[in-house]
Amino acid sequence: MQLYDTLTRGKRELPPPPGPIRMYFCGPTVYARAHIGNARPFILGMWLRSWLRERGYDARFVHNITDINDKIYAAAPGGSAELAEEATDWYLQDTRDLGLGIPDDLPKASDYVPQIVRFIGQLVERDFAYAASGDVYFRVARFADYGRLSGRIDHDEAPRNPSEEEEATELKEDPRDFALWKAHKAGEDTWWESPWGRGRPGWHIECSAMAEELLGPAFEIHGGGVDLVFPHHENEIAQSAALGHEFAHAWMHNGMLQFVGEKMSKSAGNVRTIRQALDDWGREAVLVFFLGAHWSKPIDYSEKTLAAAAARAEGFREIFRGPSEAAGAHEWERFAAALDDDLNTPDALAVMHSWRDHELLRRALDVFGLGSLAERAEASPELVALAERRLNARDSRDFEEADRLRDAIERAGWEVRDVATGFQLVPKA
């Protein structure tokens, strides 16, 4: 299997099965209900794990929760811990309702502060970090490979670090330096003790520490949104490589979800949450929507694109309402070839749409958590009785009564279809 790697700007071959393949995908900062764009790295990681296991790999997926962050303090002054806990629960519930299962590990930054402090201490000992007024900063100038992931190398191109969190530039030796530890500030209701005083971790060090704690100093894949390439992932590499650790061998960065051509973000005010998307369209339509675009490309979220995804999901259901037709001898290999080539879900989806083989299609749908599309809903005995009465009315040429019974069935949310064997009851899309 090959996957596109941001670091090498090309596709990298994975080791042969059984691997292992250990994956760490950055998760959300929890201060509000997660928007639907936050679901993409989660879905990508779960699908990749599913396909790797299908191919015989020992695959492990870690997806973190950032529950220590300036945004949380700003959103709930004096109550950040409570908000973080509540928003974490929202995210876990919303992602569970996607029906893909859960990652193997869901570490929260607040549970790994001792490991983070130890990591920072090692960087200070090796002169890759320095303390300043209770803060601790990474010394970028000492790390020669800084900028290799993002391509931002010289001072003119990266004069300062556009981190998610504000940093006191006047305390830095170099504008590119970034905070590993932040001194406690008035109004912040959580803090931890450290050799540099009371405070809390910076954003970037959290992921380096959690990834290495759970997967070791070297692992196969690190993922997240393309907006994390710089500074977040660039800084993760610097932190870990400074200690001589290999860290991630390959980097997967998914494209942004766009709202009518613009990046979806809370600051832009164009957000639809995971919960809203699930309530509006149902999980199958949401998953088919993400299947329709390559994971590395932007994807537009709109009524039109979601309606098209819902129609495609209904199309799969329709296949299972008809007779199964055996596929050719090498059809599964066509499907596998698409996914083995950079997890190309649009190509895999096209192969699936060409099938009428129920067993093969159900197997492919299961890879993406969509096996429910193969399940046939059973109408209640009352609806079956109405359909039988309608059939009798049609046979008796009492079309007015047949139409009345058809309308009653439709009001109950079902469609009655005339088939050679009599009738078929189908839930309305």
Question: Could you report the per-residue pLDDT of 14-39, keeping only the tens digit for each?
Answer: 999 999 999 999 999 999 999 999 99
pLDDT attached to residue 163: 47
268 found inside a domain: no
Q: Do 290 and 189 share a domain, yes or no?
A: no
CA distance 12 to 4: 6
266 found inside a domain: no
Q: Which of 110, 141, 87 is nearest to 209 (CA)?
A: 110
- Domain residues for the domain of 46 are 2-258
Q: Do 286 and 190 share a domain, yes or no?
A: no
SS3 147: coil
Q: Do 116 and 237 share a domain, yes or no?
A: yes
78 found inside a domain: yes
| DSSP symbol at 329 | T
Of 198, 225, 258, the one marking the end of a domain is 258
Number of compact structural domains in the chain: 3
pLDDT attached to residue 215: 98
Q: Do 239 and 287 share a domain, yes or no?
A: no
pLDDT attached to residue 267: 59
184 found inside a domain: yes
Q: Do 241 and 286 share a domain, yes or no?
A: no
Both structure tokens of 203: 């954003």
User: Are 321 and 427 in contact, with CB atoms under 8 Å apart?
Assistant: no
Model pTM score: 0.88
Q: Do 194 and 312 share a domain, yes or no?
A: no
Both structure tokens of 261: 């051509």
- CATH assignment of the domain containing 107: 3.40.50.620
Which residue ranges of the chain lie beneath pLDDT 70? 153-165, 261-269, 429
Q: Do 203 and 346 share a domain, yes or no?
A: no
Q: Do 287 and 245 share a domain, yes or no?
A: no
The number of beta carbons lying within 10 Å of the beta carbon of residue 108 is: 18
pLDDT attached to residue 105: 98
CA distances from residue 72 to 22, 69, 81, 114 in whole angstroms, order as listed: 29, 6, 8, 21
Q: Do 201 and 324 share a domain, yes or no?
A: no
Q: Which of 23, 210, 191, 196 is nearest to 116 (CA)?
A: 210
Q: Do 156 and 216 share a domain, yes or no?
A: yes
Beta bridge partners of 247: 218
Q: Do 368 and 398 share a domain, yes or no?
A: no
User: Are 146 and 185 in contact, with CB atoms under 8 Å apart?
Assistant: no
267 found inside a domain: no
